[in-house]
Amino acid sequence: MREVSYEQMLPYEIVERRTKHPVAYLPLGGIEWHGEHLATGNDALKAHRLCQLAAAKGGGIAFPPLWYGEPRDLRLMETSHDRDGRIRGKMKLPAANFKLGVFGTTGDEQLASYQRLLMHVLIQIRTLGFKAIVIVTGHYPIREWAQPVACEFNKRFKDCQAWAGIEYHYGPGGKPSARVSGDHAAKWETSYLMHLRPECVDMSVFLGRSPKEKLIGVMGDDPRTTASRELGRQACRLIVDGMIRRGHALLRKARRLPR
């Protein structure tokens, strides 16, 4: 596969590829507990690989993931879904590290800061000569925060258009289905990472445990019995094709809008 990651490309390679297809693929994620069997960077890891695959197959360039800056007081496993402290226990971290206010700002203030950062990133990509920006939000709440930024960006800059979606938004029908869906570290996310970044999955951590044991911080169908690399491969093929279609649609829109 030819190099399609912006940060690893030489200038002439960027110009050549951007001239043919000025679509940028932007992955958004973060660092969060994803069970004992998945890498904590799951969200950005899967989003970034999907962006690379879409760029390689359909043209365009994949940008580096935005790992940091999302609201850490809002809808995070360690703060919102760890009432019994099992996640903190596994990570050997004190509860005080995840109390509200530890960042010195409110969740709403963190969100406003993140949205300003994201707008900065979108404008930066536009200044680099791209006409369409396909955003993949590996951490699902980010979609709610990113799409309003994309809409505001589209109003400000008619020559470049952006759209944000969770992986299943790029699948058939643009919503969760039997072929492409989502969860948290369960059947779907585990299957995605098994296919996209298998070195970041270790199901052996569950060996010797009771199949009835409740998994920590896993939301959805038990990945021990439902996840597979083949399921991830089939779903990711559909997602990538949908990302490419979205890129084409954004390009068409940008080219027909009055300046």
pLDDT per residue as tens digits for the range 47-100: 999 999 999 999 999 999 999 999 888 888 888 888 899 999 999 999 899 888
Asked if the structure places residue 67 within a domain, the reply is: yes
pLDDT in tens, 107-155: 899 999 999 999 999 999 999 999 999 999 999 999 999 999 999 999 9
Asked if the structure places residue 215 within a domain, the reply is: no
- Domain containing 108 — which CATH number? 3.40.50.10310
Asked if the structure places residue 60 within a domain, the reply is: yes
When divided into structural domains, the chain yields a total of: 1
Asked if the structure places residue 85 within a domain, the reply is: yes
Distance (Å, rounded) from C-alpha 41 to C-alpha 64? 13
Asked if the structure places residue 226 within a domain, the reply is: no
Asked if the structure places residue 19 within a domain, the reply is: yes
Measured between alpha carbons, how far is residue 121 from residues 44, 101, 140, 175, 246 in Å? Answer: 16, 26, 19, 26, 19
Asked if the structure places residue 109 within a domain, the reply is: yes
Asked if the structure places residue 122 within a domain, the reply is: yes
**Please, are residues 193 and 39 in contact by the beta-carbon 8 Å criterion?**
yes
Q: What domain range is 48 assigned to?
A: 6-173+238-256
